[in-house]
Amino acid sequence: MYEADDGRLRCSVCGRGPEHLRRLVPGPDGLLCDECVAVAKDLSGHAHPKEASARVAERPVAVIPARYASTRFPGKPLAQLCGKPMIQHVHERCVESGAFSQVLVATDDPRVASAVEAFGGHAQLTSGTCESGTDRVAEVARSMERWLPHGRDVPLARTPDQMVFINVQGDEPAIHPEALRTLAGAFEDPKVEMATLVRPLDEGERANPNVVKAVVGEDGHALYFSRADLPHAREARSPVARWAHVGIYGYRWATLLTVASLPPSPLERIEGLEQLRALEHGVRIACRPTSHRSAAVDVPGDLPAVEKLVEAMKRN
């Protein structure tokens, strides 16, 4: 049975908090959450904690960057949606997806960390000097040996170079669990070093610079991202698939640290798109299509519309 530093019981395989602890599995590994029990049963029809831990450990780690001091919306991670802080909704979407071995909130503020611990999640305090969510995720990746659950006789503490990290935006509480599963699934291909999601672009979005366009090659890798209407159609009737970028990313450990260590690139600066840094330095980005949409909370005025999306997801 795994007990965290705060005295709260956790699943002895994945580390999830009390809200998921509903079953006990006999054996030295103790308490398991419902999901890990299900994984174990999938293996042979009855629960085996060590086999379950091995399977769970192979999944990516979800890291949710959550900066308190947003310029346009101070305290945004703690904004209330449907009676819960926004960061809790994002965390719940990650857990619901079943795609991750760990779900961790990376924040620069103790108030956010306290809120996360209060609803049974894991939080890590990161530097206040991180310039982007990628930098915050990379800081977590560098220190992963400190926060992975410890003291277990199970094969969960994998070496860093075997890990995949998914950067889940902390201001998108309506991200669909299926979209998260799609992104995590991209890394079943061992050749994928970095991945993201795209969705079909609506005709009315072509001129909107706030909707980022992705130009995708026939091999499924990104050729370019832009706020402009790309690709340009020389002839009006030229048919081409047009994609909108869904701004969540996955990285293998080494790729994440490499991208985070690079200086901002010229195309990144002019477009204001951090993924162009990776492309300019030769990192291939696999694009996986999804039909699911999300909506970010940028300013307080976005809350009512996003709250409706969250409520709709709960009904479905």
Tell me the pLDDT tens digit for each residue of 23-38. Answer: 434 433 445 566 665 5
CATH of 58-315, one of 3.90.1150.10, 2.40.160.210, 3.90.550.10, 3.40.50.150: 3.90.550.10
Mean pLDDT of 279-283: 95
At residue 291, what is the residue type?
S
Tell me the torsion sign for CA atoms 190, 273, 268, 225. Answer: positive
Q: What average pLDDT does the structure give for the chain? A: 81
Q: pTM, whole model, 2 decimals?
A: 0.79
What span, in angstroms and rounded, lies between the C-alpha atoms of 313 and 307?
10
Q: Which residues contact 233 (CB under 8 A, 6 or more apart)?
A: 240
Mean pLDDT of 92-108: 91
Q: Quote the pLDDT of residue 298.
A: 83
Cα-based distances in Å from 107 to 22, 126, 314:
29, 6, 26
Tell me the pLDDT tens digit for each residue of 154-198. Answer: 334 456 667 899 999 988 999 999 999 999 999 999 999 999 999
What span, in angstroms and rounded, lies between the C-alpha atoms of 83 and 85?
7
Q: Quote the pLDDT of residue 45.
A: 46
Is-contact 221 285, C-beta < 8 A? yes
Q: Give the domain ranges of the chain.
A: 58-315
| Residue 198, token pair as written in the block | 């795209």
At residue 180, what is the residue type?
L
| Residue 291, token pair as written in the block | 């039909």
**pLDDT over 50 at 310, yes or no:** yes
The DSSP code sequence of 248-315 is EEEEEHHHHHHHHHSPPPHHHHHHT-THHHHHHTT---EEEE---------SGGGHHHHHHHHHHHHH
What span, in angstroms and rounded, lies between the C-alpha atoms of 100 and 59?
5
pLDDT tier, 151 (very low <50, low <70, confident <90, very high otherwise): very low
